[in-house]
């Protein structure tokens, strides 16, 4: 009984912290995707140990944030996919610059993470997201690779040997392109807002919205 009570208290605290982050983020035009598009799945990989660093970078209650105009594009893409019996699951969205620095320090040699000394990732501007395709029940579907892995096979234009995978990728990319979210050539899961392809700058540092980066 005491354990259940403790878990409930922890969950309430997490919800309060999440709400405070969302409120502060809104001052920088960052919108909580879960609130704006409730039927989109969110599984922030950097809030778990299932990423290239092997441990969480984001807090467990990290909100999934994007700039308001990018969220509007995301709504269009999700609606298009829903009409076809699919949907989106987001693996990453706004990335605090502190997290970008840690990711580059850990995995810069992989080519996955820009060096902040030469330019910021569009994730840090809240105008990019990483996403995959799910079925109508929200189950992740097989795609060319998993998240942040196997760049040799992750190119958007690569022809996958599995025809089912090829068709899913075509459906995902077509819906995102129609909404103005452009696939990155080297990473099939990464999409950029077409109006913000050049010279991205960080929207805000994590500490300004109460995000503690480990």
Query: What integer pLDDT is reported at residue 183 of this predicted model?
Result: 96
pLDDT digits (tens, 9 = 90+) for 111-165: 678 888 888 899 999 999 999 999 999 999 999 998 887 677 878 888 889 999 9
* Residue 113 DSSP class: S
- The domains found in the chain, sorted by start residue, are 2-209 (3.30.1380.10)
Global confidence as pTM = 0.90
Least Cα distance to 181 among 71, 79, 95, 83 occurs for 71
Distance CA 153, CA 176 (A): 20
Query: What integer pLDDT is reported at residue 115 of this predicted model?
Result: 85
């Amino acid at each position: 009984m005491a354990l259940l009570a403790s878990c409930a208290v922890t969950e309430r605290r997490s919800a309060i912290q999440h709400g405070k982050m969302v409120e502060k983020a809104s001052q920088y035009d960052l919108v909580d995707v879960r609130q704006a598009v409730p039927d989109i799945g969110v599984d922030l990989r950097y809030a778990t140990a299932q990423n290239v660093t092997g441990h969480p970078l984001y807090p467990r209650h990290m909100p999934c944030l994007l700039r308001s105009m990018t969220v509007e594009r995301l709504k269009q893409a999700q609606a298009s996919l829903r009409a076809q019996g699919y949907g989106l699951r987001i693996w990453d969205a706004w990335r605090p610059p502190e997290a970008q620095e840690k990711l580059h320090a850990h995995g810069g040699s992989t080519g996955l993470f820009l060096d902040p000394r030469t330019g910021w990732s569009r994730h840090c501007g809240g105008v990019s997201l990483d996403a995959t395709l799910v079925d109508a029940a929200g189950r992740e579907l097989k795609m060319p690779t998993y998240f942040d892995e196997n760049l040799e096979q992750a190119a958007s234009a690569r022809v996958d040997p599995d025809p089912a995978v090829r068709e899913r990728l075509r459906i995902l990319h077509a819906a995102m392109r129609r909404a103005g979210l452009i696939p990155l050539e080297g990473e099939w899961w990464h999409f950029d807002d077409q109006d913000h392809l050049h010279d991205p700058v960080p929207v805000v540092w994590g500490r300004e919205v109460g995000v503690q980066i480990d």
